[in-house]
Amino acid sequence: MSLGLGYWNLVQESVTQNKAVGFEEVGAVNQCCDGIQFCLEPALASGAMWSADEIAELCYLHYRTRLPKQGKPDPDREWTSLAAVVKVESSTQREVLASPGNLQVTKEVVAMGTGTKCIGQNKMRKTGDILNDSHAEIVAKRSFQRYLLHQMWLAASHQQCSIFIPGTETGKWKLKPNTIFVFFSSHTPCGDASIIPISEPENQLSKPVTGDDAAGQSERRSNHDHLGPEDKRKSEKTASNHIIKRMKTDDDGYFSVIPEDLTVQQVSVKREDDTNPKSCECSADMQTANKETGLGRPKVVDVYRTGAKCVPGELGDARIPGLGYHCVGLLRVKPGRGDRTCSMSCSDKLARWNVLGCQGALLMHFLQYPVYLSAIVVGKCPYSQEAMRRAIVERCQHISFLPDGFVPQEVKLLQSDLRFEHSRQAIQEVQTNSKTKLVPCSAAISWSAVPEQPLDVTSDGFRQGTTKKRIGSHQSRSKICKVELFHTFQKLVTSISQEDLPDTLRLQYG
């Protein structure tokens, strides 16, 4: 790498100062082009050549201009979440050598998804023709897989516009070294990453509830609504033992006063059915923060709630009002209205992608290395860098004995100051004086940078407008459901001759 940089500086100096470069130097530069490109990759991934606001602005513009009105929320009464994958590409080696002082970086949205819903376990189908999980992050990731399958077809067809180049093994490909992918989400992923401390300065008695805090309170209410009768009684009984006063401020905001003894009690309190002594390690970081609180440092008084439920049979939340409500670091499933879901939280899925990549098992047949996300950008909303890192990076960073090429990633985590126009917080601010109840939009939009039918609008896991009689038909399927992605993969395999296929996909005779 140092050799590549050395000759790169030589070429740059020669071009800018009109100096001649000998054949030996040019040959050395050609040999070290990989080193030059390798030096650009960390800069691309670190965000040195782009900003979180640029990524957010690009995604919001794409949402406004490239997605139709169909599937978007009615801003008078609905809200939704947005997620996308952005391709960030630096100049190619040839372009860098031709114009060393003019390094270009291009950004393009290649996949996008909206949605907030998830079907219950009783609606799941073995045929794979329904979308189980329509949260925006998952819709965007599946749309991204569709994009990757198309790019692999371009590569196998020997078209230069593909993001893939030949690998070292027959039938295997790898991502171009000047290309990375950035994941954008308008809101903190549900699950562990959404368990965010709420702080107040120690020298103040209270903190008025802001729009974002109101969103957190809304999550708490919905979380309570999802509890069963027995759990509700336990929750209410616990709450009665720890009185939390809500006091009104001059500007009609509210703040909570948390009893001081609650932080002491939360360590020893466990759920009745929980026998694991580590069940409430969740609050250790927050307790430490409170113990170390000094003059001017914020004091943690509560946490934002997540509606995602702990995986059945595993450790559970203590549900103590205040700091001890949640246990952090646990696997969770998305909440469902009545019928429990089997879909893992978005935090858990992002953590998995950070180890296994976003390409999926089918496309991995063609890849020498997984396709990882280099960065995750979150829009303006309640956010904690520590919670994001804990949920997406730290929980899986010690995993070992993985197949060749698979490595837990140190994905870059960033937040933008730009808010999504159809987020719950944005709609709440606009509809402050309205008596209309805000509800999540029932539709989900999928968009992929592919030439054929890039757009898909679904509801309840099927294409919007599907009647009960049409369920199971080809017309009812989303382009990103399991069976449709599998059919796309099959077409890719059949378009390639046997001798050009990877070993794992060749027909074995004898």
Instruction: Give SS3 for 222.
Output: helix
For 291, counting Cβ atoms within 10 Å of its Cβ (0-12 exposed, 13-18 middle, 19+ buried), the class is exposed
Scanning the structure block, which residue is given the tokens 């995604």?
59
Q: DSSP readout, 147-172? A: HHHHHHHHHHTT-TTSSEEE-SSTT-
Q: What residue type is assigned to position 220 of the chain?
A: R
Give catalytic status of residue 452 as yes or no.
Answer: no
**Both tokens of residue 30?**
């050609």
Distance, CA of 293 to CA of 203 (rounded, Å): 11
- Torsional sign, CA 28, 29, 31, 32: positive
Sorted by sequence, the CB contacts under 8 Å of residue 505 that are 6+ apart come out as 171, 365, 493
Give the number of other Cβ atoms within 10 Å of residue 171's Cβ: 20
Distance, CA of 185 to CA of 430 (rounded, Å): 21
Scanning the structure block, which residue is given the tokens 């998804």?
113
Which of 491, 504, 272 is CA-nearest to residue 365? 504
Q: What residue type is assigned to position 276 of the chain?
A: N
Query: Which residue is catalytic, options 54, 78, 137, 219?
Result: 137
**Both tokens of residue 302?**
């509560």
Q: Which of the residues are catalytic?
A: 137
